[in-house]
Structure 1
């Protein structure tokens, strides 16, 4: 029961974040450190929505969590860390730590599915 509630509590914010990428895409595009800003905003929005759905319905959830963790680590290294280094300590450090924690959580959840994959079901 607790793991189901926790899975939903972890997944649902990514659905909201994904929607924000479509609603506020033009404002977010300036944060993207590579060419094609709005494209990357929409792509990562789709990725977060897909991860949310995958985790909730538990279909390809392990893969979704691994990829979500990678995406979040990319945010940490390419957006938040450079901002911290450039002196925007308070808001950027908060976002860096938030995304780092969520990446770790994604990989923790992925690991729980890995353990379940190793269970051999008895033949009937």
Structure 2
């Protein structure tokens, strides 16, 4: 997650295209998501706020599925784009489920 977060800061313009058009402040949102990924990764490594980090990460990934990947799947112009959107739906759903598992199994180490 930390590497994904760093990428958000290194190449924000590559990720702006994935932010839905109805949301303002696209570059700021890319930075916020990057920061969330970095903080989540450090929380998991440091065993601090693991439950909160797991649930926040899961919520963020579910938002990605519903606001980015599902609309991309529905509006895909060709089979390759539809396949890529479907793979992203499965990937982020699986990551969200794993993040919820981490959050639910976290002991109060804070």
TM-score in terms of structure 1 length: 0.79
Matched, 1:79 2:72: no
- What is the correspondence of 1:27-106 to structure 2 with a 5 Å cutoff? 27-33=14-20, 34-87=23-76, 88-106=81-99
The structure richer in helix per residue is 1
Other structure's SS at 2:48 match: coil
**Hey, what's the Cα distance between the residues in 1 that align with 2:49 and 2:15?**
29
Task: List 4+ stretches of structure 1 deviating above 3 A.
Answer: none
**Hey, what's the Cα distance between the residues in 2 that align with 1:20 and 1:97?**
22
**Hey, what's the Cα distance between the residues in 2 that align with 1:92 and 1:25?**
20
For 2:105, which of 112, 117, 120 is the aligned residue? 112
- Per the TM alignment, residue 59 of structure 1 is displaced from its structure 2 partner at its CA by 0.4
Structure with greater Cα Rg: 1
Other structure's SS at 2:17 match: helix
**Hey, what's the Cα distance between the residues in 2 that align with 1:24 and 1:80?**
20
Tell which has more relative contact order, 1 or 2 (C-alpha 8 A, sep 6+).
Answer: 2
Unaligned runs of 5+ in 2: none
TM-score in terms of structure 2 length: 0.89
- In structure 2, the residue matched to 1:4 is none
RMSD: 0.9
- In structure 2, the residue matched to 1:21 is 8
